[in-house]
C-alpha cells in the first residue's frame, strides 16, 4: 500500500482547521505527513498549526504563500512539491475526517487511476456546535446531516460503485486523491486558474487525457463538510473558458504548473 501525504487547503478559518486537525489525530492509521496548503492566511492560522505541531503524531508542515487573491491551484502545487509520500490525498480545511479515512484511501488506491471522493454536508447549527465545542467526531445518525447516505461506512461496497467517468460531473477538489507521479506527469495544477472554480476539473481532464482513469470512492473515505457561505465566484467565467480549452485541445500538461520556473529555482 502507498505512503500517504495528506494535503489540507485552508484560508483564514482557523477554528475549522483546528477541528480538522483533531480529526486527523484520531485516525486509526496515520498518513506519513500532513501538509497545510495555506493560501495566505493571517497569523491566527499559523498559531493553530504551531499549537498542533508541538505534539502532532506525524510531521505537520505549514506551506504558506502571500495573500494575492484566490490562488488555490498555486498553493496546492507548492504543498505537493514538499510532499514525500507516493500518494496524495487532498481535502479542504473544512472537512472533518472519519477515523478510518486515511486507511480507506490507502487500501482503495490503485495504479493508473485517480480518486474522486464524496462528502456529507453538515448544516449550519451542527457546524456551529462542533466549532464551539472543538469536536471532530460526527455520529453517522446525528441530526444535521443533509445527504446522510454519504456518511454510510460500508467499504465492501466501494469497489462496486462506478459513477461518473468524465472530469466534470461531481468533481470536487475538496476531496480527491492522486498518485504523486501522475500529478508530476501532467505538471500538477494549472496556476493560471485564479479565483474560484474549475481548477479541479481541469486537472482531472488532463489526467484522463494522459490515460489515468477516474474512480469514485463512496462508503469508505467518509468526510463531513462544515457549513459555510459560498465563496465569491467572480473569476468563474475565465476559468471555465480555460477548462473548455483543455477539453477541446485534449491537453495533457499545463505550462504554469508544479514544475518550478527558472526564476523560482534561482530565488
Per-residue pLDDT tens over the stretch 128-139: 999 999 999 887
Q: What is the pLDDT of residues 60-88, one digit of tens each?
A: 999 999 999 999 999 999 999 999 999 99
181-195: average pLDDT: 96
Could you tell me the residue range of the domain that residue 143 belongs to?
Answer: 4-266
Instruction: Name 145's bridge partners.
Output: 122
Cell numbers at residue 262, please?
527558472
In terms of pLDDT, which residue wins out, 260 or 172? 172
pTM of the model: 0.94
- HSE-CB at 134 with a 13 A cutoff on CA atoms is 6
In this predicted structure, what is the pLDDT of residue 260? Answer: 66
Question: In angstroms, rounded to a whole number, what is the distance separating the alpha carbons of residues 264 and 218?
Answer: 39
131-150: average pLDDT: 84
Number of domains in the chain: 1
Q: Yes or no: say if 45 and 38 are a contact pair by the CB < 8 Å rule.
A: yes
Question: In angstroms, rounded to a whole number, what is the distance separating the alpha carbons of residues 29 and 106?
Answer: 9
Find the CATH number of the domain harbouring 193: 3.90.550.10
Question: In angstroms, rounded to a whole number, what is the distance separating the alpha carbons of residues 163 and 30?
Answer: 28
Amino acid at each position: 500500500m502507498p505512503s500517504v501525504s495528506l494535503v489540507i487547503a485552508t484560508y483564514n478559518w482557523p477554528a475549522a482547521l483546528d477541528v480538522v486537525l483533531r480529526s486527523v489525530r484520531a485516525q486509526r492509521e496515520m498518513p506519513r505527513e500532513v501538509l497545510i496548503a495555506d493560501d495566505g492566511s493571517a497569523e491566527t492560522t499559523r498559531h493553530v498549526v504551531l499549537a498542533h505541531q508541538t505534539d502532532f503524531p506525524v510531521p505537520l508542515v505549514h506551506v504558506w504563500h502571500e495573500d494575492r487573491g484566490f490562488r488555490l491551484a498555486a498553493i496546492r502545487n507548492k504543498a505537493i512539491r514538499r510532499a514525500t509520500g507516493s500518494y496524495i490525498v487532498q481535502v479542504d480545511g473544512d472537512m472533518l475526517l472519519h477515523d478510518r479515512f486515511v486507511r480507506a484511501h490507502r487500501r482503495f488506491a490503485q495504479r493508473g487511476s485517480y480518486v474522486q471522493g464524496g462528502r456529507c454536508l453538515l448544516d449550519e447549527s451542527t457546524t456551529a456546535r462542533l466549532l464551539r465545542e472543538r469536536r471532530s467526531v460526527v455520529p453517522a445518525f446525528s441530526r444535521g446531516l443533509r445527504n446522510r447516505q454519504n456518511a454510510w461506512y460500508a467499504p465492501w461496497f466501494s469497489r462496486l460503485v462506478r459513477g461518473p467517468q468524465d472530469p466534470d460531473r461531481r468533481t470536487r477538489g475538496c476531496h480527491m486523491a492522486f498518485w504523486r507521479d501522475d500529478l508530476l506527469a501532467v505538471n500538477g495544477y494549472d496556476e493560471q486558474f485564479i479565483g474560484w472554480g474549475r481548477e479541479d476539473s481541469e486537472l482531472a481532464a488532463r489526467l484522463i487525457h494522459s490515460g489515468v482513469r477516474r474512480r469514485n470512492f463512496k462508503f469508505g473515505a467518509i468526510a463531513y463538510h462544515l457549513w459555510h457561505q459560498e465563496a465569491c465566484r467572480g473569476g468563474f467565467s475565465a476559468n471555465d473558458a480555460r477548462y473548455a480549452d483543455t477539453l477541446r485541445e485534449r491537453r495533457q500538461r499545463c505550462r504554469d504548473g508544479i514544475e518550478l520556473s527558472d526564476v523560482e529555482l534561482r530565488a
